[in-house]
Structure 1
Amino acid sequence: MNNFKEKIRDLRKSELIKKGDKILIAFSGGPDSVFLFFLLSFLKKEYELKISLIYVNHNLRDDVENDLEFVENFSKENKVKIFIENLDVLEYCKKNKKSVELGARELRYKVLNEKLKELNFDKIATGHNLDDNVETLVFRLLRGTSVKGLKGIPAKRENIIRPILQFEKIEILNYLKKIDQNYIVDYTNNESNYSRNYIRNEVFPMFSKINKNFKNKVNDLILEINERENKFGKINVKNKKKDEFVKFLNENDVEISRKKIDQIFYSLFDNFGNLKNDGEKEFNLGKNKILKKNYFGYKIVENEEKNLKNQKKFEIIKKNQSIEWYNSKTISFFENILEFDNFFVEKKDFKYTFLIFEDNFVSDKSKIIVRNRENGDRIWLRNLGQKKIKKILIDKKISKSEREFVPIVELVFEDEKKENIILTISDIKFSKFVKKIFKTDIKNFKNSNKILVIGRKKWQTEIKMT
């Protein structure tokens, strides 16, 4: 059922069907066209559709009267209008020297288009399914075809749409069985006199012995070929971006199926090939690899790296000394300006933020620590009161996993009755107890002022500071 929901969702995205469409269903009474009717009926209210059926009698079978009785009864039971057209296929083929298979197809589409214009409808919907598409590709391969022939059956060609092209035959049959819906069984489909029937009845069972899922594999190839060609026959921006993404995976020794590549790619990028601005995502690539995406890009990490980083850290900052935080930041505390001048060493590959304490509440009975964020953490902001740190990091578009490694600088008192004070969220947000200053302004403060310095490696993604 989940697979059904996904395919209906994909059908909506395809825009084959649009609001207010008047659709004429090519209705044979077989399982595909019956299923197609129920699918469009399900979408009828949502899209404000007008639906009618057309049955084309090719006059090729002795039991055609049974078919006519079925389609007429189906029309009455489901309160849908049906139009019945009669053709003389054998006479047409004899006159035009065509095979019965080809002649029937030509006449059928001719009458469908004529009826469409007569009724002033918008689209003809046919019941071609995934199995039909795979059969078409194999048929063309055996006869000889160009790359264009490998595109299979188009989901849309002029005013003809094929809404169930991604549904397997077995899915269709199982659904009709589930709702206890009858349909016409065309006994000629079991005869291998025609090329397509031979492929379906004789060739496909052999393929299934090699790979039971071969139809989906072939369909994936058809989808990829279609994806790579826009209406001008050129590679579009999105396909170029996808090629770059596949190359990136290959360079990182990632081996996953095309289907999974598609799932990841469409989760990361929009229709114009731009990285989606929807926060952090993670994808398991197998072989101990994980693809991590945040607001600014994506990368592949080893599971060991992820587990290592998940270890919580807790550091006490000693006076006039610096600590390193996850190999990307440094935090230093200086008792006064003189000690800052004597002990602070500026590294070329770091960018620094300088903070001066507003009050002298740092004493021998308190210590400054650096730790990971914890649930419920809040910070006192100047003129804004207390704010949740999690909310601040989300607003700054810092990904979920990165939030866990942002250093929280906190003043901890020995007296447990006193509430500890969060001084800064890294160099992202500062409490009312400290003030950001320029390095050149430090000399203007009293020597007794205490100083906090936070360094960030310059290669790190810059975050707008406040």
Structure 2
Amino acid sequence: MDRIVSKVRDFIIRHALIEQGDRVLLSLSAGKDSMLMFHILNLLRQELGFMMGVFHLNHQTRGAESDRDEEHLIRLAREHDFPIHIERYDFSANRIRGLSFEEHARAVRYERAEKISAGHGYNKIATAHTRNDHIETILMRIFTGTGIYGLRGIQARRDKIIRPLLALTSDEVYGYLTGLNISWLEDSSNTAISYPRNFIRHNLLPLARTRFSAADESIQSLSELAGDALLVLEELITQQYPSLYEFSDGDLYIEAGVLMRSEPLFSYAVTAGMRKYFNYHANRKMIGEIYAKYRTRRANIKLYRDNAIRADKVYATGRSRLKISEALPLGPDPAEWEYCIDVRDFHGARLCLEEIGISVAVEIVDYAYFEKFVKNNGYIFISMEKNIKSLYIRNRRKGDRMRTEQGMKKIKDLLIEKKLDNDRKERVPLLVADSEVIACMPGLLFDIPNRVSVDFLVDKNAGKVLSVCKN
């Protein structure tokens, strides 16, 4: 067995990344790392006993070059008789305020891959990150601000995401591909040093290596030491405070009172909780602000909020606790907004709801699709049997009502039943047909059930079903 193939195989086995019977979705570009991952996993597929498919997100930012990459991957998958899943997303037309292109692209890529894996039975998603990506990530985090957790860099496995190439360097990837005459396509944007990662890759690291020959090995060692330290800290916290965290109905409650004697202890425990339950990476300034406000004698106060998370001091059952919950993006204009869906000759649409910071897909589906996803709060299904002339998504207006099993009810009351605070209630989108509210859709923002008008509920006789889901 080739040395590089053997190195990847041993890494996969040592970290239990792929097991017999797995269905692995390869998230690929047409670049060097992706082509090597496709080639090696295809070689190891029978030995390790797994099945694989290919996913590609066309960013639509490089014109013909983006389409060229997509066509290359389609040909590659078909030549080897693998299923191929292509998604397109126009990042230029769907920019989200406060997110860099890299952050936005990464979020959409993982979101689309997760959706495809869930819909097609893949239990693992493989990305082609290498050791060089790992080193660059650690440096980028140091320069932009990170803690001990960020120093770990890219992990071999996170939930269903696996990185089988982390043991390889870029030089090893290049040598293997050229040695076997395996082709790849270059992404012209990879040379643009306006992107932080490219600046580190092309300018900073090469310069550091000329002076410090063991730079990569030293950064790798730092990463491993940080990982070991985190394991020790987590074990000590769990032993000392076994009831520190309570996660209920999407909110995290922390017994912060026992942590107040030490700000570093408070900082670590709160940061770890945010990371574990919300995949949120807090900075030092933010945690310091929460700590200072929590120390006051006041109860039931807002401590912090940004466009992703909020922290409150709440008092109940005779004690104060720190409550962490998801927050919607800050600052949507309270003015009315709406997005029209053209129902004439309708085949599907994707809408970017900028005011609440999400994108949605709207499409016609069959009853089998409805049955598959009806219990998923991220989906809303509407019977389209009625002759609807206009359809749009908008925010709530004063006096909005919807027909329920108990008769007409105010949307405001339906949202109060969901125990949403005022900020969240104001941002819940509604689906409106002609002038009638037919769906209240908090599930697009929070993991709670949606409500559909009784006049538009889907049953087995529905010949035409409209699906709205978070994109």
What TM-score does the superposition give when structure 2 sets the normalisation length?
Answer: 0.47
